[in-house]
Structure 1
Amino acid sequence: MTCEPPDQNAWQLLAHARQLTEPTLRKAVTRLPEPVRTVAGYHFGWQDQAGHPADGDWGKGVRGALVLTSAQAMGIAPERAVGAAAGVELIHNFTLLHDDFMDRDAVRRSRPSAWSLFGDAQAVLTGDALLIVAMEELAEHPAIVHELCDVLVTLVAGQGADLAFEQRTDVGLDECLEMAADKTAALFSGACALGALVASATARQTSALRRFGHHLGLTFQLIDDLLGIWGHSSVSGKPVGSDLRRRKKSLPVVAALSAKGPEARRLAELYHRDVQPLTENEIREAAQLIEQAGARTWAEHEAARHRSAALTALAAAAPGPEGARALASLAEMVTHRQH
């Protein structure tokens, strides 16, 4: 298959996927006991802090959309994969609740994050509850549960490495890429495999879609890291520069630190000192140093390389034409998104 430029609007695909998936997500959250039901409803943007209805944003729904479009690419209607898509989105939001707490990120989707309003314990309990109802949603499909359990173990490894990197001054680029693969690409890979499994695709097709998701997930993380430094808070819904303020070892940062020259040495001075956090002037200086060290260009090229590898893997899956266009469109959106 030759992957032509996508002729479907990826944002329309995401909107349709959210429309299909949201009723199942809401039903799952409704089953939760209080107070975690209110925390979950707030996190998804459906309620305010007091539990009153709200018209918030629960995210782009990329991972759920990958389940639905992968199933479509393997020959079944996306509606038949809604349970799996909802399960993946519940797991993704479980990780967000825990990550925000561990990273002390106070803003999520342009609102205070759950832990900052309801406390650490309630945020962690709510994340645990979302993981439980996700597994309930998928309990009738042992192969899918097995796939997601493998993904979850990998996610734990990735998050553990990410946290450990904050205490180290010797993080290499290869291990940072491995961390990104574990923390982000694993769920993208699993989402694509789930769509294939629901559609009873062959082992070869499932493996190819798993590789597609892996490379797409790395593309997503690279773009996410770039937007975290050079994006706009009004678009992303999160404070730009917060990772630099905390001296987080994102991919462009580690690429810059691994480079030779005065920019890398000065960035190391900012990142490896004892005083926390960076000031606003130092954040701007760090961003400039990263770009001058060539790390911004490296990350952009690396994202494009993984997008190309994703499309090669997609071709190997021999998907149906409509599903292939949808997945290629999502790959294009991930590479060129602004939030």
Structure 2
Amino acid sequence: MHNFSLLHDDLMDGDETRRHRATAWTVFGPAQAILVGDALATLGTEVLLDAATTGGTSPTDAARAVRLLNTASRRLIDGQAMDVAFEQRDTVTVAECLEMEGGKTAALLAAASALGAVLAGADDRAADSLQRFGEHLGLAFQAVDDLLGIWGATEVTGKPHWGDLRQRKKSLPVAAALAEGGAASRELAEQLADPKGRGEESETELAARALLIEKAGGRAWTQEEARRQHTTALAALDEVPMPDVVREHFVALAEFVVVRER
């Protein structure tokens, strides 16, 4: 399901590299990339349904799992639609940005965190707590990803340099900077509202825009938001009884998410 979303995302954004390799649509064409993405989404559901016949999962729990995954997929698509729409707007509030990222990223991570428990027959209380862990972890992940989308090096991220700025994406650092209201914030808002040169800015111009975002506090705010979401995720995890070794794996995953930017 995750790879399905990435295949479509690369095509919508026009990105030519992913994970240090050429994206599927640039190699096989847009039509094939769309079809493969659709096929992967279908396979995701098939895997869960197979668990009811070959994996020892009850039909009831398999149905719970399919509903969980399909709901997450719908939220992911909603979030992606908002992300695309935001590119055509001059400003986006922090609340709107968090709602978009909750769908685009957090929904799928929330489902991933709870699916194993659901397939194993866990009660709703445990599954809900694990979902909240994944939801907040997903928001932390996206906050860090937004930082990397502006300040991350291509050789580290595997994505185009300045890609988010070139597309004028209203990511968390941008939304937070626009909300600050100072001189740097106002200058940033004027640049984003100017239709001239959209998608054609030079490296120097994009670097200057990144500096404006940092001066307006967008980078620091997003770093703090990633830490806050990480802390909230661990608090949700504490509600679920589990062996120490299992908890250590969850905590290690959460730690990895927030230290990528460092």
TM-score grouping bracket, smaller chain normalisation = over 0.9
Look up the match of 1:310. Answer: 233
- Rounded to whole Å, the distance in 1 between the matches of 2:81 and 2:163 is 20
1:180 to 2:101 alignment: yes
Alpha-carbon displacement from aligned partner over 1:254-305 (angstroms, at most 9, x marks no partner): 1111111111111112212112122211110111011111111100111000
CA contact (8 A) 1:185 1:214 kept: yes
Which of 244, 251, 260 is matched with 1:328 structurally? 251
CA contact (8 A) 1:236 1:338 kept: no
- Rounded to whole Å, the distance in 2 between the matches of 1:267 and 1:306 is 26
* Unaligned segments of structure 2, at least 5 residues: 53-61
- Rounded to whole Å, the distance in 2 between the matches of 1:270 and 1:197 is 48
* Unaligned segments of structure 1, at least 5 residues: 1-90
One-letter amino acid of the counterpart of residue 246, structure 2:
G
Q: Percent identity?
A: 48
CA contact (8 A) 1:212 1:314 kept: yes
Deviation of the 1:338 alpha carbon = 4.4
One-letter amino acid of the counterpart of residue 138, structure 1:
L
Taking the TM superposition and a 5 Å limit, the aligned residue runs for 1:15-164 are 91-139=1-49, 140=52, 141-164=62-85
CA contact (8 A) 2:91 2:175 kept: no
Equivalent pairs counted in the alignment come to 249
One-letter amino acid of the counterpart of residue 113, structure 1:
T
CA contact (8 A) 1:114 1:123 kept: yes
Look up the match of 2:167. Answer: 246
- Rounded to whole Å, the distance in 2 between the matches of 1:155 and 1:245 is 23
Alpha-carbon displacement from aligned partner over 1:60-112 (angstroms, at most 9, x marks no partner): xxxxxxxxxxxxxxxxxxxxxxxxxxxxxxx0000000011111111111111
Alpha-carbon displacement from aligned partner over 1:103-129 (angstroms, at most 9, x marks no partner): 111111111111112111111011011
TM-score (structure 2 length as normaliser): 0.92
TM-score (structure 1 length as normaliser): 0.72
CA contact (8 A) 1:228 1:243 kept: yes
Deviation of the 1:170 alpha carbon = 3.2
- Rounded to whole Å, the distance in 2 between the matches of 1:270 and 1:119 is 34
Look up the match of 2:215. Answer: 292
Cα RMSD (Å): 1.2
Once superposed, which parts of structure 1, at least 4 consecutive aligned residues long, lie more than 4 Å away?
Answer: none
**SS of 2:238 mapped into structure 1:** helix
